[in-house]
Structure 1
Amino acid sequence: MAKPDLKHIVVFEHQKLLVDQGEQYLSESQYQALVNYYGNHSPFYSLIRNGVQFCEYVGALQIGDTLIEVLPKADNSNDTGMWQNLLVNMIRSVWGFPVKESGSSHLKLRHNSVLDLYFELFVVEVEFLVRRGLVKKYIREERNAKALKGKLSITKHLQKNIVHKERFYIQTTQYTINHELHQILYCTLQLLSRLNRNGILASRIGSLMLNFPEQSRLKVTPQAFERIRYDRKTIIYKKAIDIAELLLLNYHPDVSQGRRNVLALMFDMNALWEQFVVNLLRKSMKSYTVAGQVTRKFWKSEHLSSNMRPDIVLTNPQSNKRIVLDTKWKNLGGKAPSPEDLRQMYVYHEYFNAEKVALIYPGEGSNTSGQFYLKDQTALDNKFCHVLQIPVNRDFILWKASIINVISGLVCLFDPQLHEDSLIIKAKD
């Protein structure tokens, strides 16, 4: 029996969805599913009168047969295709690759959402593992048996077999393909077979289900993933297990009716933008040490303390000169940065002894440089804060190149001896 197509709702961050109102709307049952989900999970949206309002989290929420896709937006463009492409490629750049030996060229589906991307990433990984040959592990088992094979567990034998003298409670070790790594993968394949609505991907999932050895049931908890220890033979499973963890722990079944199961794959856009820029700089600025989230002590009382943590610190290892960057996923819209953002950069200037500090925003606008005032307000200080605004480009490769070129231009202002061509990202990256 064919599965029904997903109802696909596309909204942008900070937008609202109301019940039975507007061109795109929620049904009453979908709204109730989101209300129930909100009650036991960190919110990706706020509940408003007769609807929900999304916040800075973007990604996908699948409620039964309805997919709500929340896209980022940094300018006035309502081109959903452009913003969807940007989000998927940012996630690929930060978390999605490399995909083992199968290579990224195998990811040929048109991804209609972040869910499609992660579903295929997982399928490609498991296909690779099956082709390579699934790894067996030694598993310790304890059970009652009618013959003494292995080690007798004396304490439990006395507890369980006082009446049944013919039985032995034994410990044995088996070299088997039925272990926790494969149990997690099999459980995830079962989840994908229920949720996936992509016809091309469905045949690949079905083929994996047929070829994958049946596994014992596993109770999916965060602790199940924390217990995993990789060795030389099983390290190749890590990518697939990481994706499985993301999918399984964000799936919330509707145990009462079974029709409004929720899978939430949502990402903080501010954190994604920050990590995306950090990764670009690490790949391209080989002459600098690129550190993300550098912590410095800032304040302390008898029982409490507070730290400061800029997004990115660039350090020249030869001269020890520093640039501090803070990424902000918001559109200034022709206005000045907020006083909070500027105060933050002033403190970074002082505490990190930075040569330059800069705020990095997406969107249209001229790049500028401003000075802080002296404390007595009589004149301007020699401390500058740069404001860099980088327009989003439909061509993702060109957008990455423009981000690096704008930041490299700032670096070369105070480090002119640095070869600029060593900073510019190549299109193939």
Structure 2
Amino acid sequence: MNSRKFIQVFEYQKLRYGDTGIFRQHHFDAMVKFNEQHQNKYFTIIHKGLHFGNYVGVIQIGGLTIEILPKVDNSDNPNKKLWQNILLNMLRVCRHIPVEALSETQLKKRYHSILEVYFELYVSEVERLVKKGLIKRYRKVQSNQTALKGKLLFSQNIQTNLVHKEHFYCGHQIYDRNHLLHQIIYKGLLILKTFVNDTLKDRLNRLLVEFQDFETLNIQKKHLDKIVFNRKNSDYMKAFDIAKILILNYSPNLSVGNDDLLTLLFDMNVLWEEYIFRTLQKFRPDGMEISFQNSEKFWENKHIRPDIVLKTSNDVFVIDTKWKIVDRHHPSDDDLKQMFVYNLHWKAEKGLLLYPGTGQVDGDFGTFHYNNYGKKCKLGFVDITEQNGIRNGFFVAKEIIGKIMD
């Protein structure tokens, strides 16, 4: 990828066309149209530009890549490589990237953008499948034949062969490689052809030769939902998962410049919540049960759902995660009221509002003054960074559990 066509920004940062020389109005127009198609949830439109919000990830418009990184420090010059590495690892832990497909060596490799990780993984997976041998399957076809083959389709035969009595319009099965699973994989390769960088282009072209005789379908979600994995095709799951991501996030021709657009965007609040849960789940102490997003009725048809509930043989604890920077002495009223309801409903001994750490010191447990309720809540901060990467999950989990059981 040409670095001159690569822009890195942070969440809540602004980007205006003309400022960089490579982000231009036709890119802006495509992104505005894309955002409108998704209820304007990804960013806010400002004068001649965009104001990014809590969505991070990557947007590629033709030859331009815009990577949006998370950031929870107050530095005027944050380390982009550090935060890209953290985002990549959070996506891996939360399984937005196939975990088994991403080796430690690949994790340490320098990528221009997160999207390149998906591209390389996809090409490698499809290469492996081709080398192993693409599987054949039975598929149903309908065609006009000079001999009766399979089942005669009477109505179509009458319409097609009223004059040519020597032909038969039949429905029959063919056993070959041109089936839906391969057509989905092929669609993923065709999407890559629009966006791939020079280092992968030769490998991609060699793969496209292997698929050139396959039918090209306009793959939609309904096609993806038809795929059922079994013992024979289970080896395709990793490639299918990445193809699905590429297909569902691909938007062709969104602007007058005919720039195709590919997006991988993640709500940082949701990603932080899931990352903390999966880290705790993996490194939880013996005898502790950890559940995620418990949902129970609260009023009529409304539900409440704390992020994480921890249970031991004696106690219940509630954790609600917040991806934002706050002062330890000033939790918002809404956050405290939310924790009060969670503690009351789940009969929790203590509640923890958990924020990403940027050098803050945890607050003390405060008591809710309600009918001698006696339940407590505090603000806690956990730093997930170390040197040029993400902190070991074992130490993150140990620290969090220590905060709430203190």
TM over 0.5: yes
Q: Using the TM superposition, give the Cα deviation of residue 11 of structure 1 relative to its aligned residue in structure 2, in angstroms.
A: 1.0
Matches within 5 A, 1:241-260: 241-254=240-253, 257=256, 259-260=258-259
CA distance 1:255–1:72, change in 2 (3 Å): closer
CA distance 1:164–1:211, change in 2 (3 Å): closer
What CA distance in whole angstroms lies between the structure 2 residues aligned with 1:86 and 1:103?
Answer: 16
CA distance 1:94–1:388, change in 2 (3 Å): same
What CA distance in whole angstroms lies between the structure 1 residues aligned with 2:401 and 2:10?
Answer: 31
Indicate the larger mover: 400-409 or 6-15: 400-409
Post-superposition CA distance 1:394-428 (Å, at most 9, x none)? 34453534421211213543xxxxxxxxxxxxxxx
Matches within 5 A, 1:92-131: 92-95=92-95, 96-99=97-100, 103=103, 105=105, 109-131=109-131
Equivalent in the alignment of 2:11:
13
The one-letter amino acid of 2:100's match is V
Q: Secondary structure at the match of 1:407?
A: helix
What CA distance in whole angstroms lies between the structure 2 residues aligned with 1:306 and 1:8?
Answer: 44
Aligned-pair RMSD on alpha carbons?
A: 2.4
2:405 corresponds to 1:404: no
Seq. identity, %: 37
What CA distance in whole angstroms lies between the structure 2 residues aligned with 1:404 and 1:202?
Answer: 41
Equivalent in the alignment of 2:222:
223
Q: Using the TM superposition, give the Cα deviation of residue 255 of structure 1 relative to its aligned residue in structure 2, in angstroms.
A: 6.6
Q: Using the TM superposition, give the Cα deviation of residue 293 of structure 1 relative to its aligned residue in structure 2, in angstroms.
A: 0.9
The one-letter amino acid of 2:351's match is V
The one-letter amino acid of 2:332's match is S
CA contact (8 A) 1:371 1:382 kept: no
Q: Using the TM superposition, give the Cα deviation of residue 24 of structure 1 relative to its aligned residue in structure 2, in angstroms.
A: 7.4
Q: Secondary structure at the match of 2:94?
A: helix
CA contact (8 A) 1:293 1:311 kept: yes
Indicate the larger mover: 31-40 or 394-403: 394-403
Among candidates 63, 66, 73, match of residue 64 of structure 2: 66
Among candidates 308, 312, 315, match of residue 308 of structure 2: 312
What CA distance in whole angstroms lies between the structure 1 residues aligned with 2:109 and 2:82?
Answer: 17
Equivalent in the alignment of 2:213:
214
Among candidates 349, 352, 357, match of residue 343 of structure 2: 349
Indicate the larger mover: 103-112 or 224-233: 103-112
Matches within 5 A, 1:164-179: 164-179=164-179
Unaligned runs of 5+ in 2: none
CA contact (8 A) 2:283 2:393 kept: no
CA contact (8 A) 2:27 2:61 kept: yes
2:32 corresponds to 1:38: no
Equivalent in the alignment of 2:81:
81
Equivalent in the alignment of 2:381:
389
Q: Using the TM superposition, give the Cα deviation of residue 203 of structure 1 relative to its aligned residue in structure 2, in angstroms.
A: 3.2
Unaligned runs of 5+ in 1: 414-429
CA distance 1:97–1:32, change in 2 (3 Å): closer
Indicate the larger mover: 23-32 or 37-46: 23-32
What CA distance in whole angstroms lies between the structure 2 residues aligned with 1:131 and 1:6?
Answer: 36
Q: Using the TM superposition, give the Cα deviation of residue 186 of structure 1 relative to its aligned residue in structure 2, in angstroms.
A: 1.2
Indicate the larger mover: 327-336 or 354-363: 327-336
The one-letter amino acid of 2:167's match is R
CA distance 1:82–1:120, change in 2 (3 Å): same
What CA distance in whole angstroms lies between the structure 2 residues aligned with 1:284 and 1:362?
Answer: 19
The one-letter amino acid of 2:32's match is V
The one-letter amino acid of 1:72's match is P
Higher-RCO chain (CA-CA 8 Å, sequence separation at least 6): 2
CA contact (8 A) 2:306 2:318 kept: yes
The one-letter amino acid of 2:235's match is I
Among candidates 363, 366, 371, match of residue 371 of structure 1: 366
CA contact (8 A) 1:45 1:55 kept: yes
What CA distance in whole angstroms lies between the structure 1 residues aligned with 2:82 and 2:108?
Answer: 18
CA distance 1:65–1:227, change in 2 (3 Å): same
What CA distance in whole angstroms lies between the structure 1 residues aligned with 2:34 and 2:383?
Answer: 36
Equivalent in the alignment of 1:263:
262
CA distance 1:310–1:172, change in 2 (3 Å): same
Q: Secondary structure at the match of 1:368?
A: coil
CA contact (8 A) 1:18 1:26 kept: yes
Q: Using the TM superposition, give the Cα deviation of residue 194 of structure 1 relative to its aligned residue in structure 2, in angstroms.
A: 2.0
Equivalent in the alignment of 2:184:
184
> Structure 1-normalised TM-score?
0.86
> Structure 2-normalised TM-score?
0.91
CA contact (8 A) 2:30 2:254 kept: no
CA distance 1:114–1:4, change in 2 (3 Å): closer
What CA distance in whole angstroms lies between the structure 2 residues aligned with 1:41 and 1:163?
Answer: 52
What CA distance in whole angstroms lies between the structure 1 residues aligned with 2:392 and 2:332?
Answer: 25
Equivalent in the alignment of 1:421:
none
CA distance 1:107–1:324, change in 2 (3 Å): closer
CA distance 1:25–1:216, change in 2 (3 Å): closer
Indicate the larger mover: 37-46 or 348-357: 37-46
CA contact (8 A) 1:323 1:357 kept: yes
Q: Using the TM superposition, give the Cα deviation of residue 170 of structure 1 relative to its aligned residue in structure 2, in angstroms.
A: 0.7
Indicate the larger mover: 397-406 or 67-76: 397-406
Indicate the larger mover: 279-288 or 66-75: 279-288
What CA distance in whole angstroms lies between the structure 1 residues aligned with 2:167 and 2:108?
Answer: 57
CA distance 1:166–1:328, change in 2 (3 Å): same
CA contact (8 A) 2:93 2:99 kept: no
Q: Secondary structure at the match of 1:39?
A: helix
Q: Secondary structure at the match of 1:162?
A: coil
Q: Secondary structure at the match of 2:297?
A: strand
Aligned length: 399
Q: Using the TM superposition, give the Cα deviation of residue 137 of structure 1 relative to its aligned residue in structure 2, in angstroms.
A: 0.9
Among candidates 43, 47, 50, match of residue 48 of structure 2: 50
What CA distance in whole angstroms lies between the structure 1 residues aligned with 2:342 and 2:220?
Answer: 40
CA contact (8 A) 1:388 1:406 kept: no
Equivalent in the alignment of 2:26:
29
CA contact (8 A) 2:283 2:394 kept: no
What CA distance in whole angstroms lies between the structure 2 residues aligned with 1:81 and 1:4?
Answer: 17
